[in-house]
Chain A
Amino acid sequence: MKPNTNEHDQGVVYRKTLGHYTVRANGRDIDCVLSSLLRKQLIYPIADPTSLRRRVQKVREVEHIDPVAIGDHVRFIRAGDGSGMINQVLPRHSTLSRPAPVPGQRVFEQVIVSNVDQVIPVFAAASPTPKWGLLDRYLVSAEASELPALIVINKLDMASKNRRLEADLEIYRRIGYKIRMVSSVTGQGLDELQALLAGRTSVLIGKSGVGKTSLLNAIQPGLGLRIKEVGRGDLGKGRHTTTHLEMFGLDIGGALVDTPGMREFGLWDINGEDLALYFPEMAGYVGQCKFGLSCRHDLEPGCAIRQAVMAEKVSPYRYKSYLNLREEL
């Protein structure tokens, strides 16, 4: 099938539920399904790839859990009833991926979102208590995707319950990450945050119950998205409320992608050898160890990163996160 290159048949994926994609084109939302061609990789003979009458040699399954992600610029064919069929995904300028949490031996890539300008890891000041190891995962993933990260601490109205919050955040400030403290309840800090969102496409990621959707409701009043209170009987754990990915256009310009709470966030396409490069405060020491680039920065003598930790130039908490992630890779 020849892709339809008509300008009117190009749009951006704003929402997806099982098997259905909402594509926004010229200000209108079109409910689309996926062409089965996008689920396969057609292999043509190398001898004459430009031949007009190309014969498919082999069909391979695409190594993605879903070939279309929120934020994708796609081409689609319109059906007569107002729906459509996506038949081409245009090149992406950025992706944020993780290994798909599906059982089985084969690991598929799950592109959480594409074509975003910044990643916003959201944590609650308290309830649920921030897990900084998870933040480090998000930051490594953002660094590997070459996306800037903006750390948002929500529920500022509950900050008095977390005495260590400021000291913990100082670690990230010193590295150079931007941090904004907000409260979607009192509205504190929202103006500053909006200024950093305007004109950009951003994605909110974080555990259930940190207030991602509440934040979105506060930033873009009128959305009326469903939210729930954090459970009381289970140590302040969040309850899954948002069940699908969706991108929302903002009145201030730009867009914000809301994601369901993610308890698991594996690293995709990151080698253990490269991991230290994704910790900005450690990257400068890579290659300066006694064993050069072969150093795992764990037990090796003469490790420049360990020496930097001991000289208090690198936080021991971040170094521990590095070791924890290194064990996985």
Chain B
Amino acid sequence: MNCPNTFGDFKCAHCGQIVSSAHWLSGVNNRNHCSYCLWSRHLDLYAAGDRLSACKATMQPIALTSKRSRNKYSRGRGELMLVHLCTDCSEISINRIAADDDADTLLEVFNDSCSLSNRTLNLLLENEIDILPPEGLPVLQLQLFGKITNIRLAKIV
């Protein structure tokens, strides 16, 4: 994200792709991560879109979680959310998945989240975030593709 002070299109700091922030493509108002590699940049401090963070390091997508009305980031059938971890200051943020986010990369993130380090798991625990567990794959597939496919399962397992 080389245009940190604008809400326009940007070049991904991780994969170098040009990412469009057009609402009609993403379906979200604040496009805050790359739709190809799902990496983000640590730009917000107090609230989404405030652009007040001075860290500006890249943020790695480490896991998926789901949003529920009462307990916002716990297991369940709420909206799928992407969990980012700052590569510099270890800040964790949770972001909405956009309509044009690459589904295969989302599955890869889910796959990798099954083998997170203890340090990262502790960070998630401190932030009271329940990530989507391995048995949540069918739920994830349903949300991403509308059906459970064996091909996808084979790829993950």
Residues of A within 8 A of B (CB): 298-299, 305-307, 309-310, 314, 316-317, 319-320, 323-324, 327
CA distance A298 to B2 in the complex (A): 10
Q: Is B45 an interface residue (CB 8 A)?
A: yes
CA distance A305 to B55 in the complex (A): 11
Taking the closest CB of chain B, its distance from the CB of A251, in whole angstroms, is: 45
Q: Which one of A314, A316, A317, A324 lies within 8 Å of B5 (CB-CB)?
A: A324
Contacts of A320 in B (CB 8 A): 51-52
Size of the B side of the interface (Cβ < 8 Å), in residues, is 11
Q: Are B53 and A299 interface neighbours, CB within 8 A?
A: no
Q: Is B4 an interface residue (CB 8 A)?
A: yes
Contacts of A309 in B (CB 8 A): 54
Apart from A305-B54, A327-B5, what 18 extra A-B contacts exist at CB < 8 Å?
Answer: A298-B4, A298-B56, A299-B4, A299-B56, A306-B55, A307-B54, A309-B54, A310-B54, A314-B54, A316-B52, A316-B53, A316-B54, A317-B52, A319-B52, A319-B54, A320-B51, A323-B4, A323-B5
Residues of B within 8 A of A (CB): 2, 4-5, 45, 51-56, 89
Which of B45, B51, B54, B55 gathers the greatest number of chain A CB atoms within 10 Å? B54
Contacts of A314 in B (CB 8 A): 54
Contacts of B5 in A (CB 8 A): 323-324, 327
CA distance A310 to B54 in the complex (A): 6
Contacts of B51 in A (CB 8 A): 320
CA distance A42 to B45 in the complex (A): 55
Of chain A, the residue at the smallest CB distance from B6 is: A327
CA distance A310 to B52 in the complex (A): 10
Q: What are 8 A-B pairs at a CB distance below 8 A?
A: A299-B4, A299-B56, A305-B54, A306-B55, A310-B55, A316-B54, A320-B51, A327-B5
CA distance A320 to B51 in the complex (A): 8
Contacts of B89 in A (CB 8 A): 310
Of chain B, the residue at the smallest CB distance from A327 is: B5
CA distance A316 to B52 in the complex (A): 5
